[in-house]
A and B are shown apart, each in its own frame.
Chain A
Amino acid sequence: MSTLTSHRRSPAAQPPTLRAKRLPKWMPPAIALGALLVAAAIVYGTGLGGPVLVVVVGGLLYLGGLYAAANAVEGQRAARNRTWSALIHSAFVLAVLPLASVVWTLLSRGAERLDADFFGTSMNNIGARDPNGGAYHAIVGTLEQVGIATLITVPIGILCAIYIVEYGRGRFAFAIRFFVDVMTGIPSIVSGLFVLAFWVLIVSPYFSSTGRPGFSGFAAALALSVLMLPTVVRSTEEMLRLVPAPLREGAYALGVPKWKTILRVVLPTALPGIVTGVMLAIARAAGETAPVLLVAGGGAAINLNPFENNQSSLALFVYQQAGDASRYAPARAWTAALTLVALVLVLTIAAKLLARRNRLGR
């Protein structure tokens, strides 16, 4: 309604050309400058705050001024358009600042201890006054736990997805899909508590030589696989649904049984996509701290055996060093964080590149 009326009214004010009146190009920067000056005058005049407040108040004044100027010259709709556009751009700037700060801190602080010693030694016998010490044990722990979790998750996840896509019908398949969705939202700490209650406290006494409950890297792997499972199922499911129907039909027409069609035709076609999903799941699991804290305990020494005694992981190492009182601990924490981020990012980037080459596409 309003658009119609404003249209009808405006031609009288317009020159006889077909072009609508526009704000001159220099106007927005001029308004911005004016807004900043006024803001500075207000803020410093009243002594309310510093340069940050000037920018904030200036931003608000700019938005108001821009709206008013555009409203006067171009009309209400264009004014709204300009204001929202400015808001969207400022949202972008607002978010980039902290994220850039995180990245910059990570790189600058993380480079401090990036030496061979860090990757070659553990924290065993490293006291509060020792500047060295490293994350070898944590890296080993992360790799073992994530590796075992992948071995557990991938077969179950893919089979589950095959059931949902190829075999499952009716209420039961719907229930599985629904609960896989629900499982995606399980907090990592809850999965850690679950494995604590189930494996560490109830099952592990039967396996340990002392008969007492014990932490282990395997327990952490179990907790991580609870977290990875829904991701793997969902991504595999999506990929299986993308496999073109004629491929299946061709196989069926040749008399190939369904299971062989799935294994020999459907899965290989969807494989790159499935691998992408698995890698993203691994990347997420590698960064989890809470479950490892609860069920692997974390330790200072190198423990290559994932089935017995405490094990650490990179994420847990970061957390423990962050809580350490030693003045050398923050440097270790940041370097471990950088290592962890590098590991996760390499996995993620590889997964994305693989997804880009994927023939099925999205």
Chain B
Amino acid sequence: MGETPQRSADAGTGGTRVTHGHEWPAGASARVAEAPVSTRTPGGAGLGGGGALPTARRFGAERAFRGLTLAAGTFVLAVIAAIAIFLIAKAVPALRANTANFWTFEGWSPNDTEPKFGIGALAFGTVLSSALALLIAVPVALGIALYLSHYAPRRLGTGLGFLIDLLAAVPSVVFGLWGRDYFSGPVTDLSIWLNTYFGWIPLFGGNGPYGASILLGALVLAIMVLPIITSLSREVFLQTPTANQEAALALGATRWEMLRTAVLPYGRPGIIAAVMLGLGRALGETIALALTLGITFDISFNLIENGGNTIAANIANAFGEANETGRGALIASGLVLFAITLIVNITARAIIHRRREFTESAA
């Protein structure tokens, strides 16, 4: 990304030290700052003008500052490691105490004298609600992003884009509150309608009550991640080189063909990054789902009946009355969530990293 100015800076500084210009290759920037120091140390009475320069110190401000920044960098790595270590340390006792199978048991009662809890249903609910939310949100978000970048009048597009950016900053608890108090009504109606006419599909089966369901949770999640995905992909679409777009139009492409051949391929890594970021948000979303889902502990593909649960929502709901083992159990479930998001993130980074080499676009 920004590597080029960096390199040119090094080359420039390398060139100014005329006398020793050949000793260091221009790219060896890390040594540029210390370079004058090390050359002046032996003897000091070297070439002309050396006496006017400050004398070098082995433990000077330069080294101290560098050490400070290095410490800050290492701190970040330490935090990540600490997250994993402390979560594992607190989770293991609870997992030992668990009398049921952690992976398959459908239920969550870690506070009993014989603790029983399983992650299966929670992990399933987490993945199902996030996947559903993305399935709904991504096409719409890309549509809006294209509208804002290529269809709307310039001024309207900028204004609405700013508005979408603002919506991306709205806290999730607000969406949760809205979903529970206002959106559940229309979703209940929709669920009843779906059940009446499409009840033969297992997804929409069951006999009620409807409302606080995976469908509501996923829709609220979708509305929540929509501004995030939109604002990121809009930015990527706006960065498409004008030359590419004009070339496509000059060859007689219609506007959609121009979008498909010039804008979308250029923005693909950015789109993937935006979607993955949205997925990360959806997987880790706590409060909006704790407010909208009807909490149950079974694995079911039924989307419209009251029920559904996710790892994060369960932590928020069950934390209040958790005892020692209960907390450990919740931390264990958090560890699983951490692992899921890590996998998603690392996959996304890998995809972006590999694609960038081909498309040379900013992701």
Contacts and interface: CB of A to CB of B under 8 A. Distances in A.
Contact of B5 (A80, A88, A198, A244): A244
A160 B16 contact: no
B59 interface: no
Interface string A163-193: 1111111001101101111111111111101
B169 A345 contact: yes
A31 to B, nearest CB: 18
Interface stretch (B117-125, B207-215, B312-320): B312-320
A106 B178 contact: yes
B86 A198 contact: yes
Interface stretch (B68-76, B240-248, B301-309): B68-76
A186 B9 CA distance: 35
Most buried by A among B61, B68, B178: B178
Interface size class of A (residues with CB under 8 A): 35 or more
Contacts of A241: 1-2, 5-6
B169 A168 contact: no
A229 B171 contact: no
B166 A348 contact: yes
B334 A319 contact: no
Nearest to A187: B284
Interface in B79-105: 79-80, 82-83, 86-87, 89-90
Most buried by B among A88, A180, A288, A323: A88
A189 B284 contact: yes
A92 B143 contact: yes
Contacts of B171: 286-289, 315, 337, 340-341, 344
B316 A190 contact: no
A48 B341 contact: no
A337 B169 contact: no
Given A105-B182, A229-B79, A287-B170, A249 B69 contact: no
Contacts of B83: 186, 190-191, 194, 226
Given A88-B147, A226-B79, A193 B255 contact: no
B223 interface: yes
Interface in A336-362: 337, 340-341, 344-345, 348-349, 352
B257 to A, nearest CB: 7
A296 interface: no
Most buried by A among B53, B75, B171, B256: B171
B69 A162 contact: yes
B51 to A, nearest CB: 14
A151 to B, nearest CB: 14
Contacts of A53: 193
Contact of A290 (B66, B70, B75, B312): B312
Nearest to B167: A99
A81 interface: yes
A257 B61 contact: yes
Contacts of A116: none
Interface in B157-198: 162, 165-167, 169-178, 180-183, 193, 197
B147 A102 contact: no
B30 interface: yes
Contacts of A263: 65
Contacts of A180: 76
A241 B362 CA distance: 14
A45 to B, nearest CB: 15
A337 B182 CA distance: 15
A94 B312 CA distance: 28
B226 interface: yes
B344 A319 contact: no
A319 B287 contact: yes
Contact of A102 (B53, B146, B178, B256): B178
Contacts of A185: 277, 280, 284, 341-342, 344-345
Given A91-B144, A99-B167, A168-B73, A190 B341 contact: yes
A80 B147 contact: no
Interface in B119-160: 139-144, 146-148, 151
A194 B175 contact: no
A259 B61 contact: yes
B5 A330 contact: no
A196 interface: yes
A323 to B, nearest CB: 8
A95 to B, nearest CB: 5
A163 B77 CA distance: 13
A78 B254 contact: yes
Contacts of B68: 159
A194 B87 CA distance: 6
Contacts of B255: 81, 85
Interface string B39-71: 000000000000001000000111011101111
B201 interface: no
A5 interface: no
Interface string B309-345: 0001001100100000001001100100110011011
Contact of A322 (B2, B177, B277): B177
Interface in B5-27: 5-6, 8-9, 12-13, 16
Given A284-B169, A352-B162, A337 B174 contact: yes
Contacts of B284: 185-190
A348 B169 CA distance: 7
B274 interface: no
Given A106-B178, A337-B177, 6 more contacts: A80-B254, A165-B6, A190-B338, A319-B290, A337-B173, A340-B171
14 contacts: A90-B143, A159-B69, A173-B73, A183-B80, A187-B286, A187-B337, A190-B284, A197-B87, A198-B86, A241-B5, A241-B6, A257-B61, A262-B65, A287-B172
